[in-house]
Amino acid sequence: MAKVSPPAKVKSISRKIAKVPVESVTVLNTWATEIMESGMNKTLWKRRHFNAIVLSVWATGFYVEIQAKSARSILILGDSISAEYGLQRGQGWVALLVQKLTKEKITAQVVNASISGETTSGGRSRMSALLKQHQPELVVIELGANDALRGLDLAQTQDNLIAMAQAAKSSGAKVLLLGMQMPPNYGLDYAKQFENVYRQTAQKTQVHLIPFFLKGVGDDPDPLKWFQSDRIHPNAAAHPQLLANVWPEIKKMTQ
């Protein structure tokens, strides 16, 4: 991912995205799902209407079950950027995505399985269980930055991304891969190799790719205004731009 730091301060900055205790999975529902669920528990328990109650409860339960199965499920598998590290809850791009889906009246359940500090290896180890549990229609993979920041083998990073993409596709889900980039101080050759990991993964698995998730943030002429004090994690002001970078693809893929 883009890391913003003047050359003289490179050594004073952590070389990995910070890991903090966070919920491993957060389920966020859009407007239609919320309305559907709130309608299940209407006050019906009056004895003089017992027969009507039985019929009504049976019909309502059946309706809700069908609606729940037809609702889209979007699984976000990412690191601290998607886990809202350093932000107040609700300020991150995933929470903003839920708001956008609601505004667009797109019925969907967003499952945020992002963890701060997550690597592609960690994501790969969790993918199978997440797919089985949530049966998503769309899987968004936002991983790889921590691999690079920790100096992990990029060939293994690519192998992990390919395995995750293939697993998601085999389950019947569409896949959106969010590409990241390394800053020039990591070396131009390394930065190019890292960028190619995402391009080659997308080509080999035939999945959708956002070449640079932090476009408009990490490549801004004055990027410091978009990052927290650690110069690694995007601040709250940057997250609407992150959503703008992915929304066109997500909208197309959920229609």
Compute the distance between CA of residue 71 and CA of residue 101 in angstroms, rounded to an integer. Answer: 12
From the candidates 80, 82, 114, 171, give the one annotated as an active-site residue. 80
Q: Are 235 and 88 in contact (CB under 8 A)?
A: no
Q: 80 catalytic, yes or no?
A: yes
Write the pLDDT tens digit of every residue in 18-62: 444 444 577 777 544 333 333 434 333 344 443 443 333 333 333
Structural domains in the chain, sorted by start: 22-29+72-253 (3.40.50.1110)
Mean pLDDT in residue range 87-112 = 97
- Helix H, strand E, coil C: the string for the chain is CCCCCCHHHHHHCCCCCCCCCCCCCEEEECHHHHHHHHHHHCCCCCHHHHHHHHHHHHHHHHHHHHHHHHCEEEEEEECCCCCCCCCCCCCCHHHHHHHHHHHCCCCEEEEECCCCCCCHHHHHHHHHHHHHHHCCCEEEEECCHHHHHCCCCHHHHHHHHHHHHHHHHHCCCEEEEECCCCCHHHCHHHHHHHHHHHHHHHHHHCCEEECCCCCCCCCCCCHHHHECCCCCCECHHHHHHHHHHHHHHHHHHCC
pLDDT level of residue 186 (50, 70, 90 thresholds): confident
Identify the active-site residue in 5, 82, 116, 233: 233
Q: Does 82 or 22 have the greater pLDDT score?
A: 82
79 is catalytic: no
pLDDT at 27: 77
The question of whether 208 is a catalytic residue gets the answer no
